[in-house]
Structure formats: C-alpha cells, structure tokens
C-alpha cells in the first residue's frame, strides 16, 4: 500500500474530526482505513503534514517593472501636457506636486495590486551612518560645484530671499522639499532600485535606475523650461551625468 499524509490545507478541517491533532498523527493508506501512528513514525508524519503544501508564487521582476513604469509614465504624460500647455513650470506649478508624487503613488499601487501590501518600500530607518552620509555628501558636491561657478564669475549668489525671514524660508522650504521629493524617493529608491537589484548587479542597477530617472525628467527639459535657459542638449547632458553619478 502507498502511504499518504494529509495536506496542510486540510488540517483546519481535520482537527477535532479524528484526522490530526498534536498528540498523535493519523496516516491514511490506499487500501486501509485511517490508522493511528505514534513514536518515530508519528514524528515523521507530523513533520510532513506541517510543511506548506504550496508556496504562493511571487510576481516576476519584469511584471513589477512593467506595471510600475506603465503607471508612472502613463500618468506623467498627462501631467506633462498640462504643465507644457500652461506655459511652463511657473505657470503650471499647481501640477508639479502631482507629477512628483506620480512615482510614489505608482509604486504603492503596484505593491497593492501584485503583493496586496505596501511593505518593502524603504520604510525602515537605515543605519545612522548612511543617513548622515546622505546629508553630508550632497552638501560637499553641491558646495564644490557652486564654489567653482561663483569664483569664476559664471554665476552670482543672490541673498534676496533671505532678507525678510531667513529662518522661515529655510524651515518652510525644507519641509516643502521633503514632502515634494518623498513621492519620487518612494518610487525610484523605495521600489525601482530593489526590484532591479533582484536581477542585476549594483553597477547596472544604478545605471538603469538612473537612466529611467533621466527619461522621466527629459520631456520637461527638452520641451519645457526645466533647462533654466540653457541649450537643451547641454541641460540634458548635465542632468544625465549628475543623475548617473549620484
């Protein structure tokens, strides 16, 4: 006779009906009624019964990426049109918060649709040293870049905004920047980078995620005024180098 053990999904119906409990396991054979087994055989049967009958398949990285990028670029296309048709970033600034939160909302939607949760989007506080570096490193390279521009006379420093209330400007500006950029960080770093890292090495993950980030900004650089008056090719080139290097 061939021995078979009750699948895990039947345990809930079997408890209390004589099929399985924690004191003794029952094994069914193909030609005999259920019989109690004890000792080493019961331990073996219990171990087999306790194994999951099946593992819920996880969505592939390709499916997650297709869903996320489709939502992000699809919704962003409509917001690009609204901003450009308004005359540019200054005239269409009411649409900018929605645009910057598009990657974050798309990431949340993708997680809910494919995983039915919003975990694993970078909610956990990392090691303090990385948080400190995330503040320190941008200050270093930004200061170096601006110092070169100011010292060579390519640009000047305007303190007009600080004449009224510098503290209010810094505090309110920082809070607004955190809120606005959170949408992009949830999407690009919280969702996109971990999904890419499942199938790519670190260097390629950085290049691909940076390239996607550049492509998302490109419409406003090429067709809008996100280039700050610079030649389009130059602005896009500088933005690409900055994004891939950072």
Closest CA to 185 of 246, 113, 112: 246
DSSP 225: S
Which residues does the chain have with pLDDT short of 70? 1-58, 161-164, 246
The DSSP bridge partners found for residue 4 are 28
**What is the phi/psi pair of residue 154, to 5°?**
-70, -20
This prediction's pTM: 0.70
Quote the crossing angle between the two packed helices 202-223 and 61-86, to the nearest 10°. 20
Looking up tokens 């030609």 gives 31
The CA distance from 243 to 195, in Å, is: 19
Q: What is the pLDDT of residue 84?
A: 94
**CA 61 – CA 181 distance, rounded (Å):** 25
Give pLDDT, residue 149.
87
Helix 96-115 × helix 162-185 angle, to 10°: 30
CA-to-CA separations, 65 to 148, 213, 219, 244, in angstroms, rounded: 39, 14, 21, 19
pLDDT at 10: 39
What are the start-end ranges of the H helices in the chain? 11-14, 39-50, 61-86, 96-115, 128-152, 162-185, 193-197, 202-223, 232-245
CA 138 vs CA 23, 31, 142, 146: distances in Å:
62, 73, 6, 12
Task: Calculate the dihedral angle through the C-alpha atoms of 156, 235, 184, 82, rounding to the nearest 10 degrees.
Answer: 100
With both helix axes pointing from N to C terminus, report the angle between 232-245 and 202-223 in degrees, rounded to the nearest 10. 150
Q: State residue 164's pLDDT score.
A: 67
* Residue 20 DSSP one-character state: B
pLDDT of residue 39: 52
User: What pLDDT does 142 receive?
Assistant: 86
């Amino acid at each position: 006779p061939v021995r078979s053990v009750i699948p895990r999904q039947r345990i809930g119906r079997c408890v209390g009906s004589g099929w399985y409990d924690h004191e003794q396991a029952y094994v069914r054979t193909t030609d005999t009624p259920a019989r109690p087994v004890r000792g080493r055989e019961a331990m073996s049967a219990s171990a087999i019964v306790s194994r999951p009958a099946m593992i819920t398949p996880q969505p592939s990285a390709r499916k997650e990426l297709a869903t996320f990028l489709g939502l992000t670029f699809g919704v962003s296309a409509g917001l690009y049109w609204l901003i450009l048709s308004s005359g540019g970033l200054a005239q269409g600034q009411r649409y900018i918060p929605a645009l910057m939160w598009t990657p974050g909302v798309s990431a949340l939607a993708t997680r809910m649709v494919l995983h039915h949760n919003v975990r694993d989007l970078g909610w956990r506080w990392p090691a303090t040293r990385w948080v400190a570096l995330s503040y320190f490193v941008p200050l270093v390279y930004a200061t170096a870049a601006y110092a070169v521009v100011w010292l060579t006379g390519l640009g000047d420093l305007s303190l007009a905004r600080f004449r009224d209330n510098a503290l209010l400007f810094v505090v309110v500006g920082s809070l607004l920047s955190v809120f606005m950029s959170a949408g992009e960080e949830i999407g690009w770093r919280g969702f996109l980078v971990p999904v890419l890292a499942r199938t790519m090495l670190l260097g390629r993950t950085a290049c691909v995620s940076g390239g996607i980030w550049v492509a998302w900004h490109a419409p406003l650089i090429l067709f809008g005024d996100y280039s700050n008056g610079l030649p389009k090719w130059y602005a896009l080139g500088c933005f690409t180098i900055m994004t891939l290097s950072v």
